[in-house]
Structure 1
Amino acid sequence: MSIGNISTVRALLVDDEAPMRDWLRSRLAQVWPELEIAGEAGNGIAAIEQAQALQPDVVFLDIRMPGKNGIEAAAQLAAMAQVVFVTAYNEYAIAAFERGAMDYLLKPVDAERLAQTCDRLKERISEKRKAAEAAQAQSRPAIAAGNASENLPVATDVQTMLTQLIQQQMQQGQKRDYLRWVQASVGTSLRMISTKEILFFKSDEKYTLVQTEQAQYLIRKSLKELEDELDPDEFWRIHRSSLVRVSAIAEVTRDFRGRQLVSIKGSTEKLEVSRNHTHLFQQM
């Protein structure tokens, strides 16, 4: 249930994909028109610098970013603002976020879920401001100190949780989260493509082609990055220029030159298997 309006709230949007920041900005304008977008950042280091300069009330934070990632950045940001993760990777984090110390939004972001998050943020920020105003009105150092100490457990709890998540990532690599959504710019809009819809990826110099049964998209992410982020049980690198969804393979044949060629379900494309990857189809 939505609560009443509160005074100006400032937000910082952090994502390494500019189209995603634009998309989130437009969605926030719909569900929380009064929210002021104070700034944007494309990585964790810039996010911390921006937060220190702009002092936002809320930080909408992506997880997978170059340099300092979202989880590492949040360990510092949580002491300055309410942190909301906006992520395509949910398995290792959702249970912790549900504890209430912060919130998360799963890409592609659902409008109703975003509205719920905004209502929750309004409530938290309103409570925090009322406590600060009460302390200031009474003008007693003891009370002010008491309110400050009341705020500490939340930040401490967040930082402890984030430290545990980082340790889990390092110690339990086998339980890592794999890419579930790929972002592709289509004109002025951002398209979220489920990896379950993707037949294959094919590199084309500066871009990577994403092929689904319905359409093709171009993204700037390299095959090397995709290979690192995709589940190796679901996607195989069969050539330096192509990654294919295993379940989309219809058959593997040989041409007159002895090369292995992969036929893809729902596509007329035939992808060559390089010599370095013929071990994937050893029985041929």
Structure 2
Amino acid sequence: MNDITAPRSQPVRAVLADDERLMREQLRSRLTEVWPELQIVAEAKNGLEAVDLVREHKPDLVFLDIRMPGLTGVDAARQIAQLPGEGDDDEWLVPEIVFITAYDQYAVEAFEQGVADYVLKPAERERLQVTVQRIKKRLAQRQDADAAPEAGGGPAAPLQQLLHKLSAQLNPGGKPAYLQWIQATVGQAIQMIPVEEVLFFISDEKYTRVQTATLEALIRKPIKELVDELDPQLFWQIHRSTLVNVKAIAGVTRDFRGRQLVGVKGLSEKLEVSRSYTHLFKGM
């Protein structure tokens, strides 16, 4: 069994985001007490700044205040989840997310699935120690995934589901309204395609291809927008440029380089699974 407190070859690096300066200072002080090895590499005053700092520093861990002006912590987390894979750095995974929140029962219930953690304001030493141990354990599991590629790593699809749930709670009105139809270009015509008929979406730099069993169409909407608009229980992101309908998955194989490839029902085409999402098919 691995020791979750065993030192890593590199120190854990974190970005802290809260629009209240005193809260940032208090959390930084508490973290220094319970996790002295942690390196806080940057602090943000709002969600937009948090996304930019995460893009710049590529941390292992991000503390996000749920309610921030301009871009909420939930919206910032959505954007952060899309950052790994940008440019040429395919080794960086989605950072662990810890939300900072006042006591809200909905939040506590939402975090029970363990995809992300939370810290209640003001950060109490005892509760923060629990969070730190959970984060260390998850980071250790990522190290194990590096040693054994089949184990995968990264909470991509469950994290999307958590963010949808939190977003619905933060924006009164209840259940989020997921996209039901895709308006796409087919030849010279515009066609309305029911979302449940889509087998997968795959993007290049300008367009996103919409593939059904009977047709192929193009839309201008990028994957990172579709992730927020589609039901995460129906569509899984398996690559920064690919979403696949769970019901359309025929199976998962590996190529000679060890990469996972998703087979799609009724098609010979295979969809590559990037490293951040291999955990979705653990055991296959």
* Alignment match, 1:30: 33
Amino acid at match of 1:21: R
For 1:57 and 1:75, locate their aligned partners in 2 and report how far apart those are by CA, in whole Å. 16
1:4 maps to a residue whose letter is: A
Task: State whether residues 75 and 163 of structure 1, in contact with CA within 8 Å, keep that contact through their aligned partners in structure 2.
Answer: no
Per the alignment, residue 93 of structure 1 pairs with: 107
Question: Higher mean Cα deviation, 162-171 or 89-98?
Answer: 162-171
Please tell me the residue identity of whatever aligns with 1:116: V
Matches within 5 A, 1:75-94: 75-78=78-81, 80-94=94-108
Do the aligned residues in 2 keep the contact of 1:14 with 1:60 (CA within 8 Å)? yes
* Greater relative contact order (Cα < 8 A, sep 6+): 2
1:243 aligned partner? none
In 1, are the aligned partners of 2:141 and 2:153 still within 8 Å (CA)?
no
Q: Could you tell me which of 48, 52, 69 is aligned with 1:66?
A: 69
The alpha carbon displacement at 1:130 in A equals: 2.7
User: Does the Cα contact within 8 Å between 1:77 and 1:83 map onto a contact in 2?
Assistant: no
Q: Are 2:51 and 1:40 equivalent residues in the alignment? A: no
Cα deviation per residue 1:77-121 (whole Å; 9 max; x = unaligned)?
Answer: 346210001111422211111111011111121101101111111
CA distance, structure 2, for counterparts of residue 168 and residue 17 of structure 1: 22
The 3 A distance-change label for structure 1 pair 3 and 151 is: closer
2: distance between equivalents of 1:168 and 1:19? Answer: 26
Indicate the structure (1 or 2) with the bigger Cα radius of gyration.
1
Q: In the alignment, what sits opposite 1:128? A: 142
Gaps spanning 5+ residues in structure 2: where? 83-93, 175-284
Aligned residue runs from structure 1 range 159-178, under 5 A? 159-172=160-173
Post-superposition Cα deviations, 1:197-249, rounded to whole Å, max 9, x if no partner, equal xxxxxxxxxxxxxxxxxxxxxxxxxxxxxxxxxxxxxxxxxxxxxxxxxxxxx
* Alpha-carbon distance, 1:159 to partner: 1.1
Number of residue pairs matched by the alignment:
160
2:17 match:
14
Contact 1:11 1:39 in 2 (8 A): yes
Change (3 A) 1:172 1:55: same
Question: Equivalent residue for 2:235?
Answer: none
The aligned amino acid for 2:161 is T
- Which amino acid counterpart does residue 39 of structure 2 have in structure 1? E
For residues 120 and 129 of structure 1, do their structure 2 counterparts lie closer, same or farther at Cα, with a shift above 3 Å needed?
same
Query: Under a length normalisation based on structure 2, what TM-score does the superposition of the two structures give?
Result: 0.52
Gap change, CA 1:18 and 1:107, over 3 Å in 2: same
Distance 2:8 2:126 in 1: 20
TM-score relative to the length of structure 1: 0.52
Aligned residue number for residue 157 of structure 1: 158
In the alignment, is the contact (CA less than 8 A) between 2:99 and 2:117 conserved in 1? yes
For the residues of structure 1 that align with 2:172 and 2:25, how far apart are their CA atoms? 35
- Provide the rounded CA distance (Å) in 2 between the counterparts of 1:171 and 1:107: 22
Structure 1 gaps of 5+ residues are 136-143, 174-284
Task: State the Cα distance separating 1:64 from its structure 2 match.
Answer: 1.2
1:3 to 5, 12, 37: 5
Once the two structures are superposed, residues 148-175 of structure 1 have per-residue CA deviations (whole angstroms, 9 ceiling, x without a partner) of xx335x21111122113213433437xx
Q: Which runs of 4+ in 1 moved over 6 A?
A: none
Cα distance, 1:22–1:130 mapped onto 2, change above 3 Å: same
Deviates more, 1:161-170 or 1:20-29: 161-170
Q: Secondary structure of the equivalent of 2:104?
A: coil
Greater per-residue helix proportion = 1
Q: Percent identity?
A: 46
